[in-house]
Structure formats: structure tokens, C-alpha cells
Amino acid sequence: MGHINRDALIAITLLVITGTFFWASFEIREPDYGQLSPAAWPRMILAVLGILSFLMLVQAIKQTPPAVDAPPVDAESTSFVSTLASWRNPIFCFVAFLGFLLALPYLGMLVGGVLFVFVLLTLLGGVSPRLLLVHALVATGSIGAMWSLFTFGLRVILPTGSLFDGRI
């Protein structure tokens, strides 16, 4: 019996996703017209995706596991902390962008955008009085310029936010 490695887990996840979509493809309504059913093309793709995921699973299971010494007792917790630390910045970016999206209806694009860039700059760049000033200037300058370009130059109506409705 082989072992479960990262690629095997990915392949299993892909197979589950493929199965879910395949099941969902039966929800697609069949019209009385046209030669190609609206569900046919997605099912063809899903069939190919399923086969490829299965091949990936087989390939992953066949792979020889790397010979490793038994890890020390606290290695797992240490590696988890270091893994989390190595993903810290991308997680900050996701959380900050999610916050920006959730706040957008209330703060609007200008204030929300400036706040997003400022918060993210501070999370990634660190905090000190000088840095805070630089981050505030960069956030205001860059988003302000871009907002002005879209609003006045390209005549795009960007959301103003319910808190500032009609004022920004």
C-alpha cells in the first residue's frame, strides 16, 4: 500500500470537486432545442478532469516516499508554527482584502481603498511613527490618484459608501 502525500491529497480533493460538479450537472435544465445539451460540454470537461485527477492520484501513490528520520517530539508543533509564519503575509493580504470588500458598501471605494492600503502596508511593513506617516502618505496618494483618474478622467462611478453617501 502506498502512502498519502500532498499530491495524493490534492488529487482526492479534485476528485471530490469533480464529483460534486458532476452531480450538479444533473440540475442543469434540458431545453427542447439544440443538438448539444447545455450539460454535455461541462460533463466532457468533468470526465477529463476526473481521469486526470485519478492519474495524478495513482502517480502520487506510486511515488517513493522520501526517507526521513523520525521527527523529534516537538517537531510537529514547531513546523506548524513556522509554516504559519511563512504564510503570514499572504494571510494578511487575504484578510485585509476581505475586510475591504465587506466594508466597501459602507466606506466606499476612496475611503475603503485608502484604509485597505494603509492597513496592509502597516501589517506587512511594521509599525513606527515614521512608517505610519509614510504608509498614510503612500495610501492616500496612490489610491487618491487612482480614484481621481477613474472618477474624473474615465468617468467611472465608483461606490461612495452609505456612510458618506453623496459626499464623496
Partner 1 sequence: MFESLAASAAEVLTIQTMALMMVGVAAGLLAGAIPGFTIAMAVVLTLPFTFSMPAPQGLATMIAVQVGGLSGGLMAGILTGIPGTPSSVATTFDGFPMARGGRPGLALGLGVWSSFFGGTISAILLVSLAPQLARIGLEFQPWDYFMLVMFALTITASLSGKHLIKGLIAGAIGLLVRTVGEDEAAGVARFNFGNDSLLQGFDFIAVLIGLFAFSQLLSDVRDPVAARKSMTQRTTLQARIEHVAALKELFRHWVVVIRSALIGVFTGILPGAGGSVANILAYDQAKKNSKQPEKFGTGTSEGIIAPESSNNAVEGGALITLMALGIPGDVTAAVMLGALLIHDVVPSPSFIRDEPVIAYAIFISFFIANFMMLFLQTFMLRVFVQITQVPMYVVACVILGFCGIGVFALNNVTFDLWTLFWFGILGFVMRNLGFPLAPMILGVVLGNIAELNLSRALAISTDITPFFTRPWALFFLIAALFSCVFPLYQARVGKERWTLLYMPLVCVAISIPLFLMAIQNASVPRGIIGGIAVAAAVYLVWQRWRSGWALASPTD
Q: Which CB atom, from 34 or from 74, has the smaller least distance to partner 1? A: 34
Those residues whose C-beta lies under 8 Å from the C-beta of residue 7, and which sit 6 or more positions away, are 56, 59, 60, 63
Phi-psi region of 34 (alpha: psi -120 to 50; beta: other; left: phi over 0): left
Q: Is 39 in the site for partner 1 (CB under 8 A)?
A: yes
What angle, rounded to 10 degrees, do the helices at 75-86 and 88-125 form? 60
Q: Which of residues 56-115 bind partner 1 (CB under 8 A)?
A: 56, 59, 85-90, 93-94, 97-98, 100-101, 104-105, 109, 113
Residue from 5, 12, 15, 49 binding partner 1 (CB under 8 A): 49
Residue from 24, 75, 95, 133 binding partner 1 (CB under 8 A): 24
**Cell numbers describing residue 89:** 503575509
Residue from 26, 33, 83, 167 binding partner 1 (CB under 8 A): 33
Q: Which CB atom, from 72 or from 129, has the smaller least distance to partner 1? A: 129
Task: Give the burial string for 120-133 (b: 16+ CB within 10 Å, else e).
Answer: bbbbeeeeeeeeee
Number of residues that bind partner 1 (CB under 8 A): 63
Q: How far is the CB of 67 from partner 1 (least distance, A)?
A: 22
Binding-site ranges for partner 1 (CB under 8 A): 6, 10, 14, 21, 24-25, 28-29, 31, 33-36, 38-39, 41-42, 45-46, 48-49, 52-53, 55-56, 59, 85-90, 93-94, 97-98, 100-101, 104-105, 109, 113, 116-117, 120-121, 124-126, 138-139, 142-143, 146-147, 149-150, 154-159
